[in-house]
Amino acid sequence: MHKEYRINKFIAESTGKSRRDSEQYVIEGFVEVNGKKIKDLSTKVTSKDVVKLKGKKLKLPEYNYVIFNKPAGYITTREDEKGRKTIYDLLPEKLHHLKPVGRLDKDSSGLMLLTNNGDMINVLTHPKFHVPKKYKVIIKGKFNINNANNFYNGVDIGDGEIAKAEVISIMPEKNGCIELILVLEQGLNRQIRRMVEKLGNEVVSLKRLSIGPITIKNLKRSEYTYLTKNEVHNFIDYLDKNFDCTL
């Protein structure tokens, strides 16, 4: 089946214009669907329909989805005024049009998803959605089941923010360090580091392992790969079913 779009969204996706501007094109009679001029904003179309704006045929952009194993030492931005290294220094130019879904700070590593699908970026980063993300965290200091319960119930990390995380694994202490596996559904700034620091401990390393069902696979540091069509379909289906969104 071909996905349906409201006419204003189809125009906006195809042209890069705002949805409001796209609505105005419809209202003013500049839009044709399958050879017929339309002015009804409730009109729905699919990629199989022939949609023209001022006589020019419109085509939806091709969406790309890339997973990338970010190494520590790089920031998640296209350019940096301080001249620091960015993830785009590691990615080929053909991927530079893709935007990262959320951020990993300079000292963190692991899974990043990059795409040009703005709706997906919104779902994965908007506070009203709670897509789980899994992390492996190495900390210095003590951590026990009471700390894990505190993380689950919520930790005041300052600035009026209560941070929560589910600790699903605590490895025995080794050389003064403990390995934790955490799942977050929030996306507060430097959340894990601030939660750990609240205990008086220190994060030695932090690596993201997954975003929902998307995992880092066996990618080595700085490696990337495209999600397959089947992986993209399953991911979108997962988001639609679990977070009541339409992509």
pLDDT in tens, 204-241: 999 999 999 999 999 999 999 999 999 998 998 999 88
Question: Where are the domain boundaries for CATH 3.10.290.10 in the chain?
Answer: 5-57
According to the model, what pLDDT value does residue 2 have?
66
pLDDT for 25 beyond 70:
yes
Homologous superfamily of domain range 5-57: RNA-binding S4 domain (3.10.290.10)
The second-level CATH assignment, the architecture, of 65-128+213-243 is 2-Layer Sandwich (3.30)
Helix (H) or strand (E) holding 51: strand 51-53
In the structure, what pLDDT confidence band is assigned to residue 1 with cuts at 50, 70 and 90?
low
pLDDT tens for each residue of 154-192? 999 999 999 999 999 999 999 999 999 999 999 899 999
Active centre residues (catalytic): 105
At 175, the amino acid letter reads N
* Torsion from C-alpha of 77, 78, 82, 86, nearest 10 degrees: 70
SS3 225: strand
Whose CA is closest to 105, among 80, 130, 132, 124?
80
pLDDT tens for each residue of 40-78? 999 999 989 999 999 999 998 889 999 999 999 999 988
Confirm if 180 and 139 have CB atoms less than 8 A apart: yes
CATH number belonging to domain 133-211: 3.30.2350.10
Question: Where are the domain boundaries for CATH 3.30.2350.10 in the chain?
Answer: 133-211
Question: Where are the domain boundaries for CATH 3.30.70.580 in the chain?
Answer: 65-128+213-243
Whose CA is closest to 182, among 200, 196, 199?
196
According to the model, what pLDDT value does residue 57 have?
96
User: Which are the contacts of 78, defined by CB distance < 8 A and separation ≥ 6?
Assistant: 86, 88, 96
pTM score over 0.85 = no
Alpha-carbon distance of 114 to 130, in angstroms, equals 18
